[in-house]
Each structure stands twice: as C-alpha cells, then as structure tokens.
A and B are shown apart, each in its own frame.
Chain A
Amino acid sequence: MGRITLNKVVKRFGEVEVIPPLDLTIEDGEFTVFVGPSGCGKSTLLRLIAGLEDVSSGDITIDGTPATDLPPAKRGLAMVFQSYALYPHMSVRKNIAFPMKMAGLSQEEQEARIKKAADALNLTDYLDRRPGQLSGGQRQRVAIGRAIVREPSAFLFDEPLSNLDAALRVGMRLEISELHERLKTTMIYVTHDQVEAMTMADKIVVLRAGHIEQVGSPLELYRNPRNLFVAGFIGSPKMNLIPGAPAAKHDATHIGIRPEHFRIVESGGTFTGKVIVSEHLGSDTFFHVDVEGVEEAVTIRAGGEVGLRHGDKIHIEPEEGQIHRFDAQGLRIA
C-alpha cells in the first residue's frame, strides 16, 4: 500500500526539459523529503506524482498498478498545498467533508471520520468556522485534516510550513512527524528547510535541475555526500569547501570540512587566520575566519563561551577522519 515507482520519467514544458529521465522508488510507509535549490523541479516532480501534470514520457506506478494515465482523483493520493488551498466559502467541517462527499461516503461515516480527524488535529472547536477566520497554523491543520479523511495511500506535501512563523513551524513539524508515526502512511514532502529535511525524513532526495544528485537517509547524506553539490547543500551552516594547495595535500581537488569538525588550538594548527565575524547564538558560536591561503571565508563552530572577536588571530585544526575529499569532477573520493 503506497509504494511509488517512477521509471524514466521526463517532464518538458514546451522546449524546456525540467525533469530529465528520472528513476526513483519510494517504499511503502517511507517519509521521503525532496530538497534542492529553488526552481530545481521539486514541485513539478510532486505534481507529476499527484497527476496534476502529465508526464512527457516514462511511467509512474503506485501500489504496483500503472498510474501514468490515471486522473489525480483515481491515484489514491492526498496533497497538502503551500497555500493550503482551502475552500473559502465552506466551513471547516465542510472542507474536511468535501473529499468524502465526492467519494459518496455515508453521512455517519463522514461524521465519524471528521470527528477523528478533528480530535487528532485539535480542530474540534473550529469546525463551524470559515477558513478566513483561522490562523495560519489552524488552516494548515484543516488542510491536513482534509487529506487524512480520505485515507490515502500516500500524502504529498508541497512546502506546507513555509507560510508559518518559526515557532509554529517547529510545532507543526513535530505534528506531521507524529502523524507519520501513527498512520505509517507513505509521505512525500517538499521543502527548502534543512532542518525539516534532516529531522523528518527517512529518506532525502537531493535534486538539482531535475537530476537526482543523491538519495539516502539524512545521516548518510551528512556523512557521505556523494559530490560537491550535496556536500554544500546538506548541513547548516554549509560545509567549507576548500580548493587549491590545502586540498592538494590530501590528493584532492577540493576538500570539505564541516564547521562543527574544526578544533581551535593554541598554536600551530593546519590553518591560521583572522576572525572576520563572530555570531554568538548562546549555545554555539560561529566564527567566519579569513584563512591564509584560502580564498573564501571558513566557517567554524565553537562552544558558546569562546570569546574571540573581530580581528583576533585564530589557529584551527580539522578533526581526524572528518575531511571529505572530492576529485576534479566534484565526486567524492572514498
């Protein structure tokens, strides 16, 4: 129930090939996150799976049945949109009931499912309000409620939290994760947000210009990025990618070291430089360091109590075994 396979799927808008031939399998019950820079085709891919866009070639299989030519309604998938896409002239109750009404469910069944969804999502008090009278977070919950009651074989989310403020986002993130734990239904989730991707995903798909750069669990991607792009994309703050002489010492074109994998040492150290900016977050401090022999500023993470300031001299040393090496093609050297 809910295994989705894409086989050589291509999508063109006119002349422009937005998705070049792409293969991907999403296992049943998996929480898959699509990440990638803006315009890389995440939404398009999701809409292809949903059936809101037609594939130019290739095929899509859902639960073992060919779904390439099925209309969206027949695919058994539910989608939560970034704009929530609630029906503004219907009450929350009617919004949630709409897919069931379209499916011709009995009145009692509808009531029962609405009640269950409303309880699960804390919407019971708002059932008779219109979407316009709800806050962003509540609207998002209604949209999720409308998706749940259909009991779909998979949920599709397109940046569902991007319209919410930071605090609410954390809350909703937990709620969606919890929902996934409870329902064990396949979920595909598109996001820009590093933290959402790392914390929620069973599997992350990193896309660039419609290509899959790497697929894997969050930690796999963090520990073993397959190429420079993934290395730079996963992790926050970004991995430091250093070309030139320091990389040549490791027989590589680029070396990558994450900010959290640097130690500050009294003297010596592999790199020496001057602090340009220090960002104190309380728990951590990020130093942007102008290192001799390295063009771009190097970011390092240190404890919250380290008190270096602009212009201070600093010696840093990468931790053993935490240096990622990349060759001239940008691929990881094992």
Chain B
Amino acid sequence: MATQHSRSAARFMMAPAVILLLGWMLVPLTMTLYFSFKSYLPLRGGDLGWTGFDNYVRFVTSSAFWPSVITTLVIVGGVLVITVCLGILLAMLLDQPMWGQGIVRILVIAPFFVMPTVSALVWKNMFMDPTNGLLSHLWRFFGAEPVAWLSEVPTTSIVMIVSWQWLPFATLILLTAIQSLDSEQLEAAEMDGAPHLSRFFYIILPHLARAITIVVLIQTIFLLSIFAEIFVTTGGAFGTRTLTYLIYQRVLESQNVGLGSAGGVYAIILANIVAIFLMRIVGKNMDA
C-alpha cells in the first residue's frame, strides 16, 4: 500500500537516520578533502593557506611511501592467504559431525569478539614476549633459542596476530558455503571414481569460489586499515609501517594535517576500488 501519503510519511520518518548517516560520512570526508589542499601545521604556524596538489605530490614522493605500500600489501596478502587456507580447512573440519560440535564452533568464532587492541596486547605480552612469552617457553623446551618476535620478524608477527583475528570470519563464511553444497554432488563424484583429493579440487573448491572471493574482498577492505595491531606492538618500527600508519604519523607525529589528509584521500580511493569489485561480485551472487 505505497500510496503517495504513506510514502511521504515514510520519507519523513527515515529522514533523521539518513541525515545522521550522511553527516557522519560527509563531514569527515569534506574536512579531509578540505585539509588535503591546505598547508596546515597546527604546531608550526597553523593554517598556512592553500597549496593545490602539493600535499598529494609530497605524500607519494616521500621516501616512506613505497615501503609502506609494500608493507601493506605483504600484511594484507599474508593474512588473506593464511585465513583463506586455514579457513577452508577449519570449515571442512567443522562440517564433519563430531562430539561437542556446538562448543567447538563457538570457540572457533571467539577470537572475532576480542577487540584488536586487546588481542594484539595479549599476543605481544603473553605469546611473543622474548623472555616470558609462551612461545619462547616452547622454543626453550625444545632447546631452541627464543625468537624476539616483534623485533626480529615483526611483519610475520603482525600477520600472525591479524590472521588469528580474522580466521573466524573466513571460517564462518566458508562453513556456510560448504554446508550449502549438495551432498548428492559429492556422492556422484564418489561414484564417478574421484578420490578425496580430486573431490576437493573438482567439486568443493569450485563450489567455494564465490565465498572465497567475498572473504578476500571484505577482508581486504578491513585489512587495509588495520592500525591498533601495529600501534600497540611495533609502533610502526622495524618496517611495519603500513599506509594507514604512515597517514597517522604524518598527522599526529609530524603534525602535518594537510599531508596526512592527502594520504587519507588516497586510502579512500583505494578502498572504493575494492568496494566496487565487492559490490559487483556480491551482486552477481544475488543474480545466480
């Protein structure tokens, strides 16, 4: 009953939410854009006027830019590979009927509920600490020299921490995908003489293709902006400075709001490119 009257009433009722959301998004976005064209140094003279595209050029030509892009790619790529591979394995495991299935599933999902800052601190102090960490105890138990995780292999450590956080998400999505696989297809393949491994590669993996793409794209959007995990562990040292972290440093450590904002705009563009791919694929999923 979408009469003229009820429609305008609906618009009227939705207006507060829409305005709030728009304001929420538009105000910071406009401010970022505004500052990115300014030379704005709060502790060194404040607003020094318009500078055109200077900030944009300076951001990409600085010596820290390319290393930070590479670090971002390594961390995002590493986490994606680990979460997708382990996610598929875990999902297949959880799909098997087993004792205590409900509890195991909740346990697997648990890391997702831990705040990034907390989980990074837990990893840093309880697992990766070179003297008291559980991992160093483990190393010593086997007679090996403990690893100073966060200074010797900082990028790997961060990849490990972030993977631990995102594995539940990947597992959950892949588990629902696996559960939607028609068991008759697997039985048909079994009758057709396909051993376990072939059934995995010819039937299960293609069936999961869409779910994997979705996991990859959604995670990419969120992983591009990881911050807390770096902030509380290495603080951007030892080559763990990602694009997001670089922006943070430009704004808060060098107190150059204009330069940081330009970096922020680059990040927005990047995230949108990924988002467009995501919408396309999710949209296709709906059609099929």
Instruction: State the CA gap A79–B203 with chains docked (Å).
Output: 17
Q: Contact at B193–A73, with CB atoms within 8 Å?
A: yes
Are B192 and A99 interface neighbours, CB within 8 A? yes
Task: Please provide the chain B residues from 178 to 224 with a CB less than 8 Å away from any CB of chain A in the complex.
Answer: 182, 184-185, 187-195, 198, 202-203, 206-207, 209
A78 contacts which chain B residues (CB < 8 A)?
191
- Encoded as 1 (CB less than 8 Å from any B CB) or 0, chain A from 50 to 93 comes to 11100000000000000000011100011101110111111000
B187 adjacent to A81 (CB under 8 Å): yes
B192 A73 Cβ-Cβ under 8 A: yes
B contact patch SS: helix
Q: Within the complex, which residue of B188, B198, B206, B288 is in contact with A79, where a contact is CB–CB below 8 Å? A: B188
Residue in B187, B203, B206, B209 whose CB lies within 8 Å of A52: B187
Known: A83-B182, A98-B202. A146 touches B187 (CB 8 A): no
B residues near A86, Cβ cutoff 8 Å: 185, 188
Contact of B191 among A79, A88, A132 (CB under 8 A): A79
Residues of A in contact (CB 8 Å), total: 25
Expressed in whole angstroms, the Cα–Cα distance for A88 and B192 within the complex equals 15
> Is B202 within 8 A of A85, CB to CB?
no
**Residues on B with beta carbons closer than 8 Å to the beta carbon of A81:** 184, 187-188
Residue of A51, A71, A85, A103 touching B188 (CB-CB under 8 A) = A85
Quick one: closest B residue to A80, CB to CB?
Answer: B188
Decide yes or no: A89 and B182 within 8 Å by CB, A73-B192, A77-B191 being known contacts: no
Report which of A71, A73, A79, A85 forms a contact with B185, defined as CB distance below 8 A. A85
Complex contact A146–B206 (CB within 8 A): no
Q: Note all chain A residues with C-beta closer than 8 A to B182.
A: 83, 85
Chain A residues with CB under 8 A of B207: 88-89
Closest B residue to A71 using CB positions: B190
A85 and B190: CB pair below 8 A? no
Q: Are A98 and B190 in contact (CB under 8 A)?
A: no
Interfacial chain B residues near A85, Cβ < 8 Å: 182, 184-185, 187-188
Minimum distance in angstroms from B81 CB to a CB of chain A: 23
> How many Å lie between the Cα of A87 and that of B203 in the bound state?
7
A150 in the interface (beta carbon within 8 A):
yes
How many whole Å from A103's CB to the nearest CB in chain B?
Answer: 6
B positions within 8 Å CB-CB of A? 182, 184-185, 187-195, 198, 202-203, 206-207, 209, 288
Interface set of A (CB-CB < 8 Å, partner B): 50-52, 71-73, 77-79, 81-83, 85-90, 98-99, 102-103, 132, 146, 150
With contacts A82-B184, A87-B188 known, what are 16 further pairs, Cβ within 8 A? Answer: A50-B191, A52-B187, A73-B191, A81-B184, A85-B184, A85-B185, A85-B188, A87-B189, A89-B207, A90-B206, A98-B192, A99-B191, A99-B193, A146-B188, A150-B192, A150-B193
23 residue pairs bridging A and B, Cβ less than 8 Å apart: A51-B191, A52-B190, A72-B190, A72-B191, A73-B191, A73-B192, A73-B193, A73-B194, A79-B187, A79-B188, A81-B187, A85-B188, A86-B185, A86-B188, A87-B189, A87-B202, A88-B207, A98-B189, A98-B194, A99-B193, A102-B192, A102-B193, A102-B194
